[in-house]
Structure formats: structure tokens, C-alpha cells
Amino acid sequence: MARNSASRTVARAFGFTRLIVELGVFSSLAFSLALFIAAIVQAYHTIRDAFEHLDDPETTKHLLVAAVEQADTLLVGVALLIISLGLQALFVGRLQNVPEWLHVRSFDDLKQKLLGVVVTALAVNFFAVALEWTGDASILLYGAAVAAVILAVGIYSLVLNRLHHPPARTEPREGHVESRS
């Protein structure tokens, strides 16, 4: 009888953790939605203002910078959406009607998807900074910092991938003698 009570208590505790994860899923989804809406509203205002100043030579550059910044905002929104869908799939239950590339099968799978978005967001962010570059040397330090982070993420991703998917060992062919030195 005590064993039954203990297992019910443990089951309730796990049920509670699913609720906590679900709250994280909803908050991540809410931030994602807010970023998408903000990007759309900002795009509308920027484009509307640009049409009023088409004779200004800086308008094109302003539009280009705004477009890259919007892409950066959308990428962060996508990262939050991936987190939301991934946590839902891992802790609560698999989602239907999700593109195949968004299916998350493990926590490492979720990390790999996020790393790709993070690297892309860093590159887009650097591009936005480069578009507004005034010629000083600070962009070199910023670029080196971004490159170092991307390199570190790339190495981490490679190590993570090799840990979970070691290269297949090939057996020597029949009749082939392996040389030893």
C-alpha cells in the first residue's frame, strides 16, 4: 500500500514538471509571436516612411539596414519557436502538422537546430553592423568576436554530433591483409 502511494506521489511530481515545461513552451511561443508581430509592424512603418523619402539617397541604405535587422529579429523569433516546439515534443508530446525538419527527437537534436539558428543570427547581426560601418577599426574586434563565437559553436556542434553519431567502423575486406607498421 505504501509503495502505491509513493508511486502516485512520484507520478504527480512528474506531472507537475510537465506543467512547468508547458509554461516554458507557452512563454517561448509568446515571445516568438511578439517578435514576429514587432518585425511586421516595424517593416510596415519603415517601408511607409521610405516611400515618403524616395528622393533621399540614404533611403536605400536605410531600407537595407532595416531589412537585415528585421531578418535578425525574425531569426530570434524562429529560435524561440524552435525552443517552444522542441520542448513540447520532448516533454509533453509530439506535435502534428510540423515540417519534418522541425521534428525534435532528443535534447541534442534540439540543441543542434538552435545552434544553426544562432550562427545564422550572429552572421546576420554582423552584416547589419557592417552595413553601418563608418570605417573605424572597432568592426575588426567585433568581427573577430563574432567569428570566435561561431567557431566555438561549430566545434561544439561537431563534437556533439560525433559523440552521438560516431563514424562507422569499416571491417577489412575478405582476403585483404591489413598492414601493420
Q: Is residue 16 part of a domain?
A: yes
Looking at per-residue confidence, does 11 or 58 come out higher?
Answer: 58
Reading the block at residue 153, the C-alpha cell is 559553436
| Helices (H), ranges, 53-102 | 58-87
| Residue ranges making up the domain that contains 84 | 2-164
pTM score, two decimals? 0.70
Q: Is residue 176 part of a domain?
A: no
pLDDT, tens only, 52-82:
988 888 888 889 889 988 998 998 999 899 8
Overall number of domains in the chain: 1
